[in-house]
Amino acid sequence: MSDSQYIEAFTKYLLSGDPSAIEVFCENPSDIKRLAIYRNGFYKGCVDALIANYPMCEKKMGNNNFKKIAKAYVDRFPPEHGTLVGYGLDFPSFITDFINKIKLEEEEPLQSSKSLINTLNLDLKLVDIARLDYTWLMSLMSGDSKETLTIEYVNELIGQEFELTELNVKLNDSVLLVEVSTEAFSEWISLKTNHNTVEKCSPTMNSVMFWRLQGAVQARLLSIAETKLMQSLQGEGSTLGKAFDAALTVDEEFEVSDAFTACLQNELLEISIN
Amino acid sequence: MKVNSLHSPQQFLVGEHLGAGLSLKPEHLDDILVLPVKNSASDNNLWFEVHTENYFVAGGPRLAYLRAIRENYNISFHGVGGSLGADLKVMPAHTKRVKALIDEFQPSLVSEHAVWSKANGKYFADLMPLPRTQDALQSLINGIDCYQSGIGRSILIENPSNYLDFISDMDEPQFLVEAAKRSGCGLLIDINNLYISSKNTGVDALNYLKQIPAELVGEIHIAGHDPDPALGDSLLIDSHAAAVAPPVWDLLEEALNLFGHRPVLVERDANIPSFDELMNERKTAQHYLNQCQLQNNLSTLNKKVTN
């Protein structure tokens, strides 16, 4: 039997737990149960990675419940690349599908499935918490800024009488926006900071911005105008003038200079070549 | 492209100046950064090993810490996701990332495992065993060639922990030595893995070591293991979650006697103790290396006197 047949049989075992195909390759069939070490190692590695990548989600659900849904995720979306860094991109949408599926089952008069949502501590807020976890992780691991727009440089430009509104800028790679419910963000913060009370947020705020400052990831809710500003500066970016105009169109009282100063202090902006 | 013709066996001894090293764990980063800088040179060349794939990130504190540590210490890249034994079509994308790290950090040693972990577009995130057949040997050699070509330098491949035997044409030393000779790679002998395999599958550990040509060995690993929760000591698990066991230290001594002074890594990946505790284990490993060095020096002196 060939090497490829062996790999195929082993793969089948890892994915299904059925050792019948790999058995013929074992020297001593009585040792077949020992194969479980490899399968357990595979699942443990993946589930531990999901715990590391979705820490607040795990905290909210509890370790045992999280492991159950994480294992189901590994079955559905096994890793594809030779690293577990960043594994779990589809986990939030997987939770959504999982909850919706259970809700459909709930329509049937089955008490056991009805209790599953409560048992696993699942609600749609969990999906937002998962999205916050993953965005935080992506911000942490994003590329380092190369051309940060500093206060010193801006002062220099002002000294040269450069029209700042014409300056092309963009957000650095660590600045990421995610739209979640304000309740979910408040709960995520309280989980992260171990505060038991969940603060109420203004309903006018709908986006959360993550960014990395001196190695640590920061997070805050944005107003609608702030969201417009940041969205204008995503990707290739824009001139400062156009970005601030976008914010002013949704809030004519938007404080442009305060926002610009905050952007500089938090090292959010890069000079854009375009 | 085969790279075996580009590398002589002496290439694997590039890390010979290294003493005993430690796995670099996030829990210990701050402890390491406050060590007196003179430690690196004077404390018998302390060095650190990282799992290469953990640094597949674009930026941020993980890389920043590694850069800070690299300023004062030698490092080694130990791959766990290369899947040398299967699924080579995805290897170039993997080695491209490894090479980028190598180019930046210039590690003293680069190693991988003589196993497989990828098939049909899936990554199984563990070290899966290869049967020791001619067919699997050729696959492994192809994988090593592909990896070495991708990163532009030779690597060391590590012997696996075995929990059961698969139908094979040859024993493990033959398999690994043949792979090394035909691909131009060197060997990383994991003494804990060997001890585990000896207990789990009955292989004679000392005889195993004697079959490995010293000139192929570029690094040695030692680590802790645990008994299987259900089967106890009849099945040992390569957990890296405990201190190095006494029989593993004994086997290390035998290995150093056979191979001579080689970089020795104390691995720890779970149940992480304090940095001081790990440094004490490292001190024991360094003691064995110092003994080995002393014996080498005395042997050289004897030869000079005799001549």
Tens digits of residue pLDDT in A237-270: 999 999 999 999 999 999 999 999 999 999 999 9
**Predicted confidence band of residue B226 (pLDDT cuts 50, 70, 90):** very high
Find, among B142, B130, B195, B188, the residue nearest to B12 by Cα.
Answer: B188
Which among B94, B118, B123 is the top mutation candidate for probing chain A, defined by the most A β-carbons within 10 Å of its own β-carbon? B123
Residue B20, pLDDT score? 96
* Higher-pLDDT residue of B216, B13: B216
The pLDDT of B69-84, averaged and rounded, is: 96
* Mean pLDDT across A212-229: 96
Mind listing the pLDDT tens digit for each residue in A125-170?
A: 999 999 999 999 999 999 999 899 999 999 999 999 999 999 999 9
B96-128 pLDDT, tens digit per residue, is: 999 999 999 999 999 999 999 999 999 999 999
CA A39 to chain B, closest CA, distance in angstroms equals: 8
Cβ–Cβ under 8 Å, residues B262 and B242: no
Bridge partners of residue B20, in order along the sequence:
B264
Least confident range of A114-118, A140-144, B20-24: A114-118
Model pLDDT, residue B44: 63
* Contact: B54, A143; criterion CB under 8 Å: no
Q: Contact, B45 vs B73, CB < 8 A?
A: no
DSSP string for B201-267: H---HHHHHHTS-GGGEEEEEE---EEETTTEEEEEE--S-SPPPHHHHHHHHHHHHHH-S--EEE-
Report pLDDT for B13: 55
Dihedral sign (CA A181, A187, A190, A193)? negative
- Measured between CA atoms, the residue of chain A closest to residue B52 is A83
Beta strand pairing call for B122-128 and B116-119? antiparallel
**Res A194: pLDDT:** 87
pLDDT at B10: 45
Does pLDDT of A203 surpass 80? no
Tokens of A191: 């989980």
Task: Note whether B165 contacts A31, CB cutoff 8 Å.
Answer: yes
Residue A116 pLDDT > 80, yes or no?
no
pLDDT band at A121 (very low <50, low <70, confident <90, very high): low
| The pLDDT of residue B8 | 47
Question: Shortest Cα distance from B138 to chain A (angstroms)?
Answer: 9
Predicted ipTM of the assembly = 0.91
The single-letter code of the amino acid at B64 is: A
Q: Is B161's Cβ below 8 Å from some Cβ in A?
A: no
DSSP B53: G
Token pair for A178? 């995610």
A241/A117: higher pLDDT:
A241
pLDDT at B188 over 70: yes
What's the confidence (pLDDT) of residue B9? 43
The token duo for B94 is 């993997």
B1 has pLDDT over 50: no
Contact B126 A2 (CB under 8 A): no
Asked if residues A72 and A46 have their Cβ atoms less than 8 Å apart, the reply is no
**B128-151, pLDDT tens digit by residue?**
999 999 999 999 999 999 999 999
The closest of B184, B210, B264 to B16, measured between CA atoms, is B264
Interface test with A, best of B89, B124, B151, B269 (most A CBs within 10 A): B124
What residue has token string 């195909």?
A21
CA distance A143 to chain B (A): 4
Residue B305 is predicted with a pLDDT of 79
Binned at pLDDT 50, 70 and 90, residue A112 comes out as low
B202 at A interface, C-beta within 8 A: no
Instruction: Give pTM, 2 decimals.
Output: 0.92
pLDDT for res B302:
81
Neighbours of A205 (CB within 10 A): 16
A111 band by pLDDT with thresholds 50, 70 and 90: low
CA distance B282 to chain A (A): 26
**Helices of type H across A107-252:** 111-119, 124-141, 151-159, 182-193, 224-233, 240-250
Contact: B119, A144; criterion CB under 8 Å: no
Is residue B225 predicted with pLDDT exceeding 50?
Answer: yes
Kindly determine whether residue A25 and residue B116, on different chains, have CB atoms separated by under 8 Å: no
pLDDT for residue B6: 43
Looking at beta carbons, which residues of chain A come within 8 Å of B64?
A: 144, 215
- Please check the confidence at residue A119 and state whether its pLDDT lies above 80: no
Residue whose C-alpha is closest to residue B268's, from B256, B277, B258, B255? B277
Instruction: List all residues 6 or more positions away from A98 whose beta carbon is below 8 Å from its beta carbon.
Output: A69, A72, A122
